[in-house]
Structure 1
Amino acid sequence: MSNNEIRSKLALLQLAKEMGSVSRACDIMGYSRDSYYRFKRQYESAGEIGLRNLSRKKPAMKNRVAPEVEAQVIEIALDYPNYGQARVAELLTARGCVISPSGVRAIWVRHHLATKRNRQLALQNSLEQRSNGDNSLTSELYQIQQDQSQLECHFPGDVCVQDTYKLGEVGGLGVLYQHTFVDAYSQFAHAWVSTTNDTAAAAEFLLQQVTPWYQQQQLPIGTILTDKGAEFFGSRSKAYQTAIERLGCGHVHMRAYNGPVVNGLAARFHTLIWNELYEALFKQQRFDDLDQLQQHLQQWLLRYNHQYAIAGRYTLGKTPEETIEVSRHLVPEQ
């Protein structure tokens, strides 16, 4: 919902209060009385954010076909990266698994396998994850690597994305922001809700919430990709720049995440968490305690990182935790 629509609903509530007549206010603003009382309940329970409509577009986290069918499509994409969608559909039909070429392509798109080059890159990633020192795969890896440029990510922690997501005005807490950190290789995510979005909050989140986990997992933080928000870049980002120096990691800032691997990674995660967690949560209850909201967020993150099957070039339907475990041998010794 746009801000204009929220303002329109707020105007209706204010007009009814000033005129002392719900019916006259509804006639002027073009709303029904039922809508007025619904808006009033939503505003009283959750503030302005409660006036947002529930999105009808939900992310399809579950497979649209049977998991075993999707697994076979991915397997063939890695075994025969040169095959087109029609050829793959024919091969699966011969195996007794009926799927249309468009169904194959839909699965490819979700896993970033829609082009031959991406399927070849995914094959290399899969071989690297499975190799674990197995010399029998060395020649196959070498042949693939000769026909491509360097990959953007090589292991968990190699490239990470940090962003700040405005949640809006929430109950009695005021305007809230979610600080987000996502590993571009495994898509393992950390998040924390704060009342501020300044550089001190971004640095504190990085040093106190994110870094200890990476140290515990013995994973590096190689390069952090951010946008050019004031908390990350410019004269008001001193605290964050100091944190980057303290960690000794790289920092790349750009106007948009335009790389093949991290393209829209933070934006997609924010869309997912809004649709899966915040949207319904803010409709159901009013929050006056930030710790209570943090608890809901951390519980959701636990499910996401350990139970959600993530589509991606490196994850290929595995959970973020599983992707890290099968890729640990790719992490350089520190």
Structure 2
Amino acid sequence: MNSNKNEIRSKLALLQLATELGSISKACDIMGYSRDSYYRFKKQYEEAGERGLKNLSRKKPALKNRVSQEVEDQVIEIALDYPNYGQAKAAELLTARGCTISASGVRTIWVRHNLETKKNRLVALNSHLRQQNQLSFKSQHDMEQLYKLEQNETALDCKYPGDVCVQDTFSIGVVEPIGQLFQHTFIDAYSQYAIAIVTDNKESATAAEFLSTTVMPWYQEHKIPINSLLTDRGAEFSGKQSAAPFKQLLEQTEINHIQMRAYNGPVVNGLAARFQQLAYDEFYAPFLKNHRITDIEELNTQLQKWLNRYNHQYAIAGRYTLGKTAVEVLALSKHLLT
């Protein structure tokens, strides 16, 4: 954070010094930059202000260490076919099939899809079979009893879309000339379908309005009931007085309110935080670096375009999604709502 601020100050100093000296070459010599860098910084500053001078993270996923999609699909298949097998046994079976992968490689993929424990693999198997309409609720109950999956341990496990959802408020930061901006986020924990908007505040009334006017109409249109809503203990969700509008809305709509830190949830573990970090890295940071935004609606329009790509095109890791897109999971799970 501090290194980024220092880098921005250094670039601003170069632009200012060139103006004061009336010579780009002298300013570049003094500051240790090339003329090409000066013109690049000048263009970035003119297009997006100080935010345009911020260096984006150069960290990229180590794709060379990632297995192919075909291998990943086989590892997930083994987890569902043999949920009692550990990573070593699964790797041995895969190798026998001609798919060479180490036990640690199997575990890496299982962790990415939340399949690292026997319980999680059984829950994923239940979900997969029900998506394929091959497992009734009674069969599911029998399987849970067989493997001693107690209900109090799986209270937040999702049975279908809308069963457990997550709402959170994310600080985007100060965007000149608008000011401080926030993203209100709503995610279905089963399919990981996301809905979000940008506002200039995080008050309870705004969170309630987002839920009632943006989220609920979409769920009603797709005939998906919202059963439980998980939030953290932010003032907009849980304050005795500050959260009154949000609490009243949930009472009126009879939505069960689960208040806890998102990272404490056994299923939605950090779900909102992971999605919001993805949104910042892949949408906000590059977009705001290259564009000067003068009103919130303009930013919201671009956010909705990115959300459409996320929901329709992003392969999502998770024990319910298993590498499918959010829209694909919703389509596969539609019959579970009837």
Q: TM-score range by the shorter chain?
A: 0.7 to 0.9
Matches within 5 A, 1:203-242: 203-234=208-239, 235-242=241-248
Going from structure 1 to structure 2, the CA distance change for 1:239 and 1:40 (only over 3 Å counts) comes to farther
| Residue aligned with 2:235, SS | coil
Going from structure 1 to structure 2, the CA distance change for 1:20 and 1:322 (only over 3 Å counts) comes to same
Distance 2:270 2:38 in 1: 37
| Residue aligned with 2:289, SS | helix
Task: Note if 1:260 corresponds to 2:262.
Answer: no
Task: Note if 1:148 corresponds to 2:149.
Answer: yes
Distance 1:291 1:178 in 2: 13
TM-score norm. by structure 2 comes to: 0.84
Contact 1:48 1:169 in 2 (8 A): no
Q: Offset at 1:41?
A: 4.8
Distance 1:186 1:179 in 2: 18
Q: Offset at 1:76?
A: 0.8
Work out which of the residue numbers 123, 126, 130 in structure 1 matches 2:125: 123
CA RMSD after TM alignment? 3.1
Contact 1:199 1:240 in 2 (8 A): yes
Distance 1:69 1:8 in 2: 42
| Residue aligned with 1:231, SS | helix
Q: Offset at 1:293?
A: 1.8
| Residue aligned with 1:163, SS | strand
How many residues were matched structurally?
A: 326
Matches within 5 A, 1:170-319: 170-234=175-239, 235-319=241-325
Contact 1:61 1:308 in 2 (8 A): no
One-letter amino acid matched to 2:283: L
Task: Note if 1:159 corresponds to 2:164.
Answer: yes
1:97 is aligned to: 99
Distance 1:323 1:63 in 2: 27
Q: Offset at 1:100?
A: 2.4
Distance 1:312 1:63 in 2: 20
Distance 1:25 1:254 in 2: 53
Contact 2:313 2:325 in 1 (8 A): yes
Distance 2:32 2:218 in 1: 51
Q: Offset at 1:256?
A: 4.4
2:57 is aligned to: 55
Bigger shift: residues 72-81 or 5-14:
5-14
Contact 1:127 1:141 in 2 (8 A): no
Going from structure 1 to structure 2, the CA distance change for 1:129 and 1:60 (only over 3 Å counts) comes to farther
Q: Offset at 1:32?
A: 3.7
Q: Offset at 1:319?
A: 1.2
Contact 1:156 1:184 in 2 (8 A): yes
% same residue:
54
Q: Offset at 1:156?
A: 0.8
Bigger shift: residues 238-247 or 268-277:
238-247
| Residue aligned with 2:186, SS | strand
Contact 1:13 1:36 in 2 (8 A): no
Distance 2:63 2:269 in 1: 19
One-letter amino acid matched to 1:184: A
1:9 is aligned to: 8
TM-score norm. by structure 1 comes to: 0.85
Distance 1:290 1:140 in 2: 47
Stretches of structure 1 lacking an aligned partner (at least 5 in a row): none
